[in-house]
A and B are shown apart, each in its own frame.
Chain A
Amino acid sequence: MQEKHPAGGYQAAGTWNVSPRTLSRQERRTSFGEVESTLTLAQAVQEANRCLYCYDAPCIQGCPAQIQIPEFIARIRSHNLTGAAEVIYRDNPLGAICGRVCPVEALCQKACTSCRINTPIAIGSLQRFVCDLAIQEGRIAFQDETNVLGKVAVVGGGPAGLSCAHYLRQRGCEVDLFEKEDLAGGLLRWGIPIYRLPEEVAKREIDLITNRVALHRKYLLGTQAEDFLKQYDAIFLGIGLSSPILLRTPGADLPGVYAAASFLRALREKKGGDFAFYGKEIAVVGGGATALDAARSAIRLGASKVTVLYRRTAEEMPAFSSEVEAAFQEGVDFLWLMSPVEITPVDGRLKLILEGIRLGEPDESGRASVIPTGVRTNFLADAVLVAIASQAEPAGVEGWMDRPKVFRGGDLTGGATVVQAVADGKEAALRIISWLEKGGSQ
């Protein structure tokens, strides 16, 4: 907190746009420290002052969780930080997490009216500031209703399941949360690297939810699935897409070829030593968030060269522009329009045979189709991290997706961001609540 000046007001304000303190390129190449710092109070108030407080607030339409953004920003402006936190947590129980990992440039900030006269308001940074301070000062204590509305099983402790569990608890449902790992959080715990989402930040907000439910850890649904349908009034499935899809090219099973997701998980489990990338050349195959997280993590382990191989171009990359930009700044190389067709061992290294790609008419996904050109080149690497796609892990629930008691959300239903998962979980919770209120009929 800033020191209050004896004559009133706060020191160090002006009318400039603010940006958080950010680690230098060099610091990012040698540490997993969080890239951006939380804004100071003076910075946050300053940035909040730029908000136009639009009548119709297009930023809210850009937020999957529908946070009442101008309302929390107005509260920062008046130094009502508890009120600001209440506004955020009302619509998103993972406010500090989303303030860090949301692709704001494609969501709220893309819609910001200030884009038309200036840079958008730094909504993500402001949200992070409010939530960090509120949690740090212990101002977040969720009050749940006490009259029991029903008993619900939430399967999957990722952001969708956590969000669903939170809103169910708020309305007084008893919640059993089933998590296959020994800690809830899903991608927040095992996927997103700590330079984007520090362990402690994730833990604090996850705990604020899991402390209010019955958490069943290391629990795989398996064959008990059918019993669930009898035991619970409703079931939410937020099991995500935790199983990586591997390359099918010859050599994909060679030592040194890893699923990027497994690599990221090992780093979160502090087993980074298993991946001795210092001074090594690393190839990353794929163009999504996981590919970029893997590439940027490899840089931080001291890899001498990290190259992202993607079969389309920067335009079509599913990763968000801020992530691509950050990777580029940190020294990640990109090779566009290339796809590996074979991997062979050569003198203790890996030789990737890459085939050139030409883009054709859009396919059913709406993206340009991929047409191999037949032109081949060799690419040498010490390790290959594969991040091409992921799928749901078999959980024994495949057969009952369409049962009336069963609700779904998160990556499982096509979401691609944490905030979308939060929104799905909330929406499912509201549907479940309304269903229970009507006595369990749709």
Chain B
Amino acid sequence: MKPDLSINFCGIHFPNPYVLAAAPTTDSADQVARALEAGWAGAVMKTTSVETETVELVYPQMGGIELEGKKLNGLINIDLISERHIDQVEQDIRRLKKEYPGKVILASIMGSRQEHWQELVRRLEAAGVDMIECSFSCPHGMPERGMGAAVGQNPEFTERTARWVKEAAKRVPVAIKLTPNITDILPIAEAVKRSGADAIVAINTVLGLIGVDIDTFSPLPSVDGIGIYGGFSGPAIKPIALHFVSKIAQNIDLPVAATGGICTWRDAVEFLLVGARNLQLCTAPMHYGFRVIEDLLDGLSHYLAEKGFSSVEEIIGLALPKLSSYQHLSRTYKVVSQVNTDICIGCGLCFIACQDGAHQAIVWDAEKRLPRTDEEKCVGCGLCPQVCPVEAIALKRTA
């Protein structure tokens, strides 16, 4: 039997855990309709605000990190919230809810004053949205106006603003999207909990500078020679997102939607295992299109079936009991690296890495072009399996 991929998040039924994050991918009903047709469970419409908050975007807004031939290992953007009028966003929501009643449409909002936040909630709720997401987290552009991450970096602002939204929301649950650009997420997450909001979304993009053009000296992306810091997303930020999501899941009694570097079903499983109940994606569909949903869905489904789970609900948080602190790690557990010479191709990368970056425990047989571990010297640090291009090195338990 096929595992049940549906999931309950804040009392709302999601046909599967995959939702499009508020982004350029969700700036029109036409785009979102394409995604929902492709199989996405829902979408967070690109963040909107009241009409007095004028938005004037600049271009180009994107920059990517290429690593050894692979593009977009990370994506930076200096995009802001939607330029579209809230009337249009309302229309989009009405249309999408009518055409796709089984899917979930969320609205993302951002305001500066109480009456703005509350007006946004009332209007979008009336338009038929299923859930409200509040961006306390946009790291660039908006904080200059006291919005976005300027709220989410301060527990007091966070709690007060979340309360305003929660007060205004009569029918729909409220989720607060947090920024990772902060020393400790817990005071902020606790503030969200105190406010009475229903869920946390983590993380928004990481504030960064994607690069500098070494010919023109312009920071990138360069708008007529001038650059600014942007919001960094994609595969490169997954470890940061896993950290924040697991920490919130372990410490705060609120459901968490994860976002930040989820690109494949394997990433999805990892976020579910550390406690996420909902998964938002952005960079992967921006890179390859909405069709990525097909592998996300059947990869997850096959994984669950092969592991003997009947629903995605069953795996949520399974890794959390195994997430501990340094003092609790075993001092008696010992491993050493072991080279499988049947698989080894003799490139010597493990040798040079161990020689210069570890404990000089790999011996190189120049004649046979084969590495061998000196088990007396090997502390089992685990560097060599990371550099091996053919998975020929495993860590063998010795104690």
State whether these chains interact: yes
Return B352 CB to nearest CB of chain A, in Å: 4
**Which segment of A25-33, A53-61, A361-369, A389-397 sits at the interface?**
A53-61
Q: Is the CB of B69 within 8 A of A45?
A: yes
Question: Is A7 interfacial (CB-CB < 8 Å)?
Answer: yes
Question: Is A117 interfacial (CB-CB < 8 Å)?
Answer: yes
1/0 per position for A15-44, CB-CB distance to B under 8 A?
100000000000000000000000000000
Q: Is the CB of A6 within 8 A of B346?
A: no
Which B residue's beta carbon lies closest to that of A47?
B69
Q: Which of A6, A14, A15, A46 has the most CB of B within 10 A?
A: A6
**Which segment of B58-66, B89-97, B258-266 sits at the interface?**
B58-66
Q: Is the CB of A6 within 8 A of B71?
A: no
Q: A6-B221, A7-B221, A8-B221 are in contact. Are A49 and B347 (CB under 8 A)?
A: no
Instruction: List residues 106-128 of chain A with CB under 8 A from any CB of chain B.
Output: 113, 116-117
Which residues of the other chain, B, contact A8 by a CB distance below 8 angstroms? 63-64, 210-211, 213, 220-221
Q: Is the CB of A13 within 8 A of B369?
A: no
Return A17 CB to nearest CB of chain B, in Å: 11
Which B residue's beta carbon lies closest to that of A52?
B347
Question: Is B226 interfacial (CB-CB < 8 Å)?
Answer: no
Return A145 CB to nearest CB of chain B, in Å: 33
Q: Is the CB of B63 within 8 A of A55?
A: no
Main DSSP-derived SS at the B contact region:
loop
Question: Is A10 interfacial (CB-CB < 8 Å)?
Answer: yes
Question: Is B255 interfacial (CB-CB < 8 Å)?
Answer: no
How many angstroms from the CA of A190 to the CA of B68 in the assembled complex? Answer: 41
Q: Is the CB of A13 within 8 A of B71?
A: yes
Which residues of the other chain, A, contact B152 by a CB distance below 8 angstroms? none
Q: Is the CB of A116 within 8 A of B345?
A: yes
Question: Is B204 interfacial (CB-CB < 8 Å)?
Answer: no
1/0 per position for B59-83, CB-CB distance to A under 8 A?
0101111101111000000000000
Question: Is B351 interfacial (CB-CB < 8 Å)?
Answer: yes
Q: Is the CB of B68 within 8 A of A77?
A: yes
1/0 per position for B30-71, CB-CB distance to A under 8 A?
000000000000000000000000000000101111101111
Which A residue's beta carbon lies closest to that of B64?
A9
Which residues of the other chain, A, contact B349 by a CB distance below 8 angstroms? 52-55
Which residues of the other chain, A, contact B213 by a CB distance below 8 angstroms? 4, 8
How many angstroms from the CA of A50 to the CA of B220 in the assembled complex? Answer: 27
Which A residue's beta carbon lies closest to that of B389?
A52
Q: Is the CB of B345 within 8 A of A13?
A: no
Which residues of the other chain, B, contact A53 by a CB distance below 8 angstroms? 347, 349
Return A118 CB to nearest CB of chain B, in Å: 10
How many angstroms from the CA of A53 to the CA of B353 in the assembled complex? Answer: 12
Return A133 CB to nearest CB of chain B, in Å: 17
How many angstroms from the CA of A102 to the CA of B51 in the assembled complex? Answer: 68
Return A237 CB to nearest CB of chain B, in Å: 36
Question: Is B222 interfacial (CB-CB < 8 Å)?
Answer: yes
Question: Is B390 interfacial (CB-CB < 8 Å)?
Answer: yes
Q: Is the CB of A13 within 8 A of B69?
A: yes
Which residues of the other chain, A, contact B211 by a CB distance below 8 angstroms? 8
Which B residue's beta carbon lies closest to that of A57?
B348
Which residues of the other chain, B, contact A55 by a CB distance below 8 angstroms? 347-349, 351-352, 364
Q: Is the CB of B366 within 8 A of A56?
A: yes
1/0 per position for B347-370, CB-CB distance to A under 8 A?
111011000000000001010010
Which of B60, B347, B351, B389 is A7 in contact with, Cβ under 8 Å?
B60
How many angstroms from the CA of A55 to the CA of B366 in the assembled complex? Answer: 10
Q: Is the CB of B64 within 8 A of A117?
A: no
Which residues of the other chain, B, contact A49 by a CB distance below 8 angstroms? 68-69
How many angstroms from the CA of A178 to the CA of B65 in the assembled complex? Answer: 54
Q: Is the CB of A14 within 8 A of B60?
A: no
Q: Is the CB of A117 within 8 A of B390?
A: yes
How many angstroms from the CA of A387 to the CA of B64 in the assembled complex? Answer: 56
How many angstroms from the CA of A254 to the CA of B211 in the assembled complex? Answer: 72
Q: Which of A49, A50, A53, A54 has the most CB of B within 10 A?
A: A54
Which residues of the other chain, A, contact B68 by a CB distance below 8 angstroms? 49, 77
Which residues of the other chain, A, contact B220 by a CB distance below 8 angstroms? 7-8
How many angstroms from the CA of A299 to the CA of B257 in the assembled complex? Answer: 68
How many angstroms from the CA of A7 to the CA of B390 in the assembled complex? Answer: 34
Which residues of the other chain, A, contact B65 by a CB distance below 8 angstroms? 9
Which B residue's beta carbon lies closest to that of A14?
B69
Q: Is the CB of A117 within 8 A of B66?
A: no
Which residues of the other chain, B, contact A58 by a CB distance below 8 angstroms? 369
Return B185 CB to nearest CB of chain A, in Å: 30
Return A14 CB to nearest CB of chain B, in Å: 7
How many angstroms from the CA of A45 to the CA of B67 in the assembled complex? Answer: 11
Return B258 CB to nearest CB of chain A, in Å: 27
Which residues of the other chain, B, contact A45 by a CB distance below 8 angstroms? 69
How many angstroms from the CA of A340 to the CA of B355 in the assembled complex? Answer: 61
Q: Is the CB of A117 within 8 A of B364?
A: no
Which of B62, B69, B366 is A46 in contact with, Cβ under 8 Å?
B69
1/0 per position for B212-224, CB-CB distance to A under 8 A?
0101000011100
Q: Is the CB of B69 within 8 A of A7?
A: no
Q: A8-B210, A55-B352, A56-B369 are in contact. Are A113 and B64 (CB under 8 A)?
A: no
Q: Is the CB of B66 within 8 A of A113?
A: no
Which A residue's beta carbon lies closest to that of B72?
A9
Q: Is the CB of A13 within 8 A of B66?
A: yes
Which residues of the other chain, A, contact B390 by a CB distance below 8 angstroms? 117
Q: A7-B60, A9-B64 are in contact. Are A15 and B369 (CB under 8 A)?
A: no
Q: Is the CB of B210 within 8 A of A56?
A: no
How many angstroms from the CA of A150 to the CA of B352 in the assembled complex? Answer: 42
Q: Is the CB of A7 within 8 A of B71?
A: no
Q: A6-B221, A8-B220, A56-B366 are in contact. Are A113 and B71 (CB under 8 A)?
A: no
Which of A6, A9, A52, A117 is B222 in contact with, Cβ under 8 Å?
A6
Which A residue's beta carbon lies closest to that of B219?
A8
With A7-B62, A13-B71, A117-B390 given, name 7 new contacts (CB 8 A).
Answer: A7-B63, A8-B64, A8-B213, A15-B70, A46-B69, A49-B68, A55-B349
Q: 9 closest Cβ contacts across the A-B interface? A: A55-B348, A49-B69, A7-B63, A116-B345, A7-B221, A54-B347, A49-B68, A8-B220, A55-B352
A interface, CB within 8 angstroms of B: 4, 6-10, 13-15, 45-46, 49-50, 52-56, 58, 77, 113, 116-117
Query: What are 27 A-B residue pairs whose CB atoms fall within 8 Å in the complex?
Result: A4-B215, A6-B60, A7-B63, A7-B64, A7-B210, A7-B220, A7-B221, A8-B210, A8-B221, A9-B63, A9-B65, A10-B66, A13-B69, A49-B68, A52-B389, A53-B347, A53-B349, A54-B348, A54-B349, A55-B349, A55-B351, A56-B364, A56-B366, A58-B369, A113-B345, A113-B346, A113-B347
